[in-house]
Amino acid sequence: MSIADCNLIDLPKISDHRGNLTFVESRIHIPFAIERVYYLYDVPGGAERGGHAHKELCQLIVAMSGSFDIVLDDGKEKKRIHLNRSYTGLYVCPMIWREMDNFSSGSVCMVLASNRYDEADYYRDYQDFLRAVES
Ligand code: T46
């Protein structure tokens, strides 16, 4: 897996005089079935989140409100992506180290995930992650 396997996905947006509606359907708009939804909010200015990789988990990360940056790292290459639209999600495949920062005030990060929470699926040590991608 590499950061080339991660991509921005434009979700459907239905607009009328009442506002916008966006939806996500498993395996139609994203390449996995959604098993879990979680969200980050009330993130203090200057805070950093992430700092880990997943062995098997696939995720779609969406800035539902405000904005933040995600740095993707596959052990060879790094890429910083700014998310600021509630109809654009970042698909993150397994074995990608991610770090998140630059959260704007009041931002909300929603994550659609392919599996339930499992701490055993995490690499939380960067050297362990590098050893795994290099093996
Ligand atoms: C990711 C980024 C975008 C749970 O109990 N259930 C959950 O579903 C999650 C996601 C976390 N937790 C617990 C585990 C920790 O004790 O909540 C605590 C904070 O989790 P963590 O430090 O992993 O949070 P972030 O914001 O650094 O990372 C999270 C996700 O863990 C991660 O998969 O990609 O958001």
* Residue pair 93/116 in contact by the 8 Å Cβ criterion: no
Residue nearest to atom 27 of ligand 1 (CA): 50
Alpha-carbon gap, residue 26 to 116, rounded angstroms: 15
* Residue pair 104/52 in contact by the 8 Å Cβ criterion: no
Q: How far is CA 5 from the centre of its chain?
A: 13
- pTM (predicted TM-score): 0.98
Residue with tokens 């509630």: 86
Q: What is the pLDDT of residues 24-77, one digit of tens each?
A: 999 999 999 999 999 999 999 999 999 999 999 999 999 999 999 999 999 999
Q: Does any ligand 1 atom lie closer than 6 A to the CB of residue 71?
A: no
Residue nearest to atom 25 of ligand 1 (CA): 50
Question: 1: pLDDT confidence band, cut at 50, 70 and 90?
Answer: confident
Alpha-carbon gap, residue 85 to 11, rounded angstroms: 10
Active site residue 17: no
Alpha-carbon gap, residue 46 to 44, rounded angstroms: 6
Question: 105: pLDDT confidence band, cut at 50, 70 and 90?
Answer: very high
Q: Does any ligand 1 atom lie closer than 6 A to the CB of residue 38?
A: yes
Instruction: Please state the domain extents for the chain.
Output: 3-134
Q: Does any ligand 1 atom lie closer than 6 A to the CB of residue 114?
A: no
Q: How far is CA 66 from the centre of its chain?
A: 15
| Partner residues linked to 15 by β-bridges | 20
Residue nearest to atom 14 of ligand 1 (CA): 119
Q: Does any ligand 1 atom lie closer than 6 A to the CB of residue 41?
A: no
Q: How far is the CA of 16 from the centre of ligand 1 (A)?
A: 35
Catalytic residue among 29, 52, 54, 82: 52
Q: Which CATH number, 2.60.120.10, 2.40.420.20, 3.30.200.20, 2.60.40.10, labels domain 3-134?
A: 2.60.120.10
